[in-house]
Chain A
């Protein structure tokens, strides 16, 4: 028995996965009902500086919803590191929340599970219509040609955050608009004894977002038009190499950043040790770390030449959070009411202000609150120069495979190994081979 027990412990995955399925029995095939019309469970992703901050932001709004509808919403704020696995477990067991936040890049992958309520014309009509949302946000709600699997809630985009004082000390009068300018400015900043640009080399998602943008700027795509991985085409290889070369060749990213994965580069920037940061909606995060808004400027992420725009002048992925409903909810009408409430004009203004994100709802986005400073840069980026990550069912695997390849390349660069076109291609070849073939 000892042997059996000990050996059983070895079957890590089988035990974990099958325990879940044994409990749930894969019985989540039923569609929604209204059996529990007075309660809803809501999984919110961790958007603020901490889970406590999120609760403080969200609870008053949920109380407001209860007052309006009589439906009590049980809130659980789920950390990012747990969210995807929690969703997966809920999908398998059928024991999940009624409404949940998902990262918008996961939309197509989660849509493929069939667990999320499709937002067809009828469902969209129940929350005020599809036309209420801006096109860029709708582009990250599911696979093309299918009804969206979720509704946009918060929109975000990358911007270049720069330390005004460090720039002034280095004699730089304006933020760089191209990568060549960024490298040149970086050298001046380093001459002043400061770090130039931060990166999260071991954070797979950050890696993906950046190499996706670089690929766009090279006119390359990670997937063919029929959805097959194409990671080793010359344009993608050049794009990945250019990003890693910011550390390996240009040396504007410090080698220490190769092991960063817990937002340490944001802390370095907030502490005034680092001049530039490429981040999405960082204002609230910087404020929570004691950096006041007058200390830094916000500019569009650099492009290869000229100014950001469509095509090869894309400078950000369309980032953000979507709101989804589990198909097997026991309060389908209440869930739709809740989505309508959260995407309503009043709540959109409150929530997006609290999280320093951009509302994906047209009418609210036009509000003057979101037309100055960081908001203006992010809004313009979303409107003119941001592109949605590949909306394919294997997007989650793509993030892991290519994100890991870039992480390994950064590790090589940090160790002083040469980053060549061949080594980048080999890393991407390996990533592509790990993608599902069916």
Chain B
């Protein structure tokens, strides 16, 4: 990557000064321009292999009548055109109706979970801004749910939510007498709240971590000046903290939304392959359509629809949040 002279001085000349049919510096320039692409190549190849190729194959499958009869050699499955899509979006028929129900449950679950994660995470991060004895220990404790393996953590919740011997009923019913009789959390309508509880427990430490990092970048002078001007805590949060955290929150909320909307591990470990209707999240619903009832074509169509929905939501979100953003925020 070294050049000894301006390019125009040597173009078209051989070392002896004789005319040359090709520019002398060209190979070096190609190397210089090509090197970044060369360095990117492994990542691009992996991206292609791990994400794009399966996605394209998944899209192809969604146009096929792919059941157990063809799974051994799925290429031979007959084309079904848009049938799988029509079945998935026919909300008056059982498959579409169930998919719509699952979608609505997922939307409600995601909004509540993301909102609560953000709220608790932000409150905890603001609280932890002040120095006090034991702050380090508390901060480490806050991060425990985020650090635990998902499977182990959710299985522990399964034990706690059990009807007869679970800790949740023991506390709510036996100790606090808040319920007339022990409740069911892993079946029936309450399963939604059980799922939400685990999701928020698991998700808020990430919000806490990110918001805390964002808070570090807010100059202390701003708060000092505000305090001198007589601004109280709430005014400081509203006028300084939240506006300063805006870029961080934009990314945080998007990531939390995508993770929560697609969360498969939590409902699957909590309820198994057949979730209660009230907690039938779309990721498990699609898994069931594909891998339990062996309707791989329909499952692929549902996946493509989900992908399109997430792309649209993400696109609109980024468009809205980037409006009026300063270049420095990008």
Contact = CB atoms under 8 A, between A and B. Distances in A.
Whether A associates with B in a native complex is yes
B111 interface: no
Interface string B244-264: 000000000011001001101
A408 interface: yes
A93 B289 CA distance: 20
A194 B283 CA distance: 41
Interface stretch (A48-56, A223-231, A353-361, A429-437): A429-437
Interface stretch (A8-16, A172-180, A380-388): A8-16
Contact of A411 (B184, B299, B318): B184
A403 B295 contact: no
B11 interface: no
Nearest to A20: B54
B34 interface: no
B61 A14 contact: yes
A26 B299 CA distance: 18
Interface stretch (B19-27, B71-79, B197-205, B320-328): B71-79
Given A17-B58, A92-B71, A202 B262 contact: no
Interface stretch (A111-119, A295-303, A341-349): A111-119
B241 interface: no
Give the interface size class of chain B: 35 or more
B17 to A, nearest CB: 48
A256 interface: yes
B37 interface: no
B72 A10 contact: no
Given A29-B72, A430-B94, A436-B293, A7 B187 contact: no
A18 B294 contact: no
A214 to B, nearest CB: 20
Contacts of A94: 72
A434 to B, nearest CB: 6
Interface in B261-298: 261-262, 264, 272-274, 276-277, 283, 286-296
A26 B302 contact: no
Q: A11, A115, A259: which has the most chain B beta carbons within 10 Å?
A: A11
B291 A85 contact: yes
B274 A113 contact: no
A3 B93 CA distance: 32
Nearest to B262: A10
A400 B274 contact: yes
Nearest to A91: B72
Contact of B61 (A18, A261, A414): A18
Contacts of A433: 93-95
Contacts of A261: 272
B67 A436 contact: yes
Interface in A166-206: 201-202, 204
Nearest to A14: B58
A14 B262 CA distance: 13
Interface in B34-70: 47, 49-51, 53-55, 57-59, 61-62, 65, 67-69
B65 A17 contact: no
Given A26-B75, A113-B72, A400 B261 contact: no
A113 B255 CA distance: 39
B314 interface: yes
Prevailing SS type, chain B contact patch? helix
A125 interface: no
Nearest to B54: A18
Interface of A is mostly: helix
Contacts of B58: 11, 13-15, 17-18
B177 to A, nearest CB: 19
B71 A10 contact: no
B302 to A, nearest CB: 7
A21 interface: yes
Contacts of B69: 112-114, 393
A19 B50 CA distance: 7
Given A17-B296, A407-B274, A411-B188, A88 B55 contact: no
B61 A17 contact: yes
Contacts of B255: 6
A17 B290 contact: yes
Interface string A61-93: 000000000000000000000000100100110
Given A3-B318, A259-B186, A19 B54 contact: yes
A17 B72 contact: no
Given A4-B51, A21-B57, A88-B291, A434 B72 contact: no
A261 B61 CA distance: 33
Interface string B113-140: 0000000000000000000000000000
A404 B273 CA distance: 10
Interface stretch (B141-149, B217-225, B226-234, B303-311): B303-311
Nearest to A5: B51
B184 A434 contact: no
A283 to B, nearest CB: 26
Nearest to B257: A6
Contacts of A407: 187, 274
Nearest to B284: A12
Contacts of B188: 411-412, 414-415
Contact of B164 (A3, A22, A256, A411): A256
A26 B163 CA distance: 45
B207 interface: no
B315 interface: yes
A8 B164 CA distance: 40
Nearest to B187: A411
B108 to A, nearest CB: 17
A8 B307 CA distance: 7
Contact of B287 (A12, A113, A258, A430): A12
Nearest to A401: B293
A259 B163 contact: yes
Contacts of B277: 408
Given A3-B315, A13-B291, A18-B55, A26 B187 contact: no
Contacts of A11: 55, 58, 303-304, 306-307
10 nearest CB pairs, A to B: A14-B58, A433-B94, A18-B54, A14-B303, A411-B187, A18-B57, A11-B303, A13-B290, A411-B188, A18-B58
Interface of B: 47, 49-51, 53-55, 57-59, 61-62, 65, 67-69, 71-75, 93-95, 98, 162-164, 184, 186-189, 254-255, 258, 261-262, 264, 272-274, 276-277, 283, 286-296, 299-300, 302-304, 306-307, 310-311, 314-315, 318
Interface of A: 1, 3-19, 21-22, 26-29, 85, 88, 91-92, 94, 109-110, 112-115, 201-202, 204, 255-256, 258-259, 261, 393, 396-397, 400-401, 403-404, 407-408, 410-412, 414-415, 430, 433-434, 436, 438
18 contacts: A3-B314, A7-B310, A12-B262, A13-B291, A14-B300, A16-B290, A17-B296, A22-B54, A28-B73, A88-B294, A113-B72, A204-B273, A404-B274, A414-B184, A414-B188, A433-B95, A434-B293, A436-B294
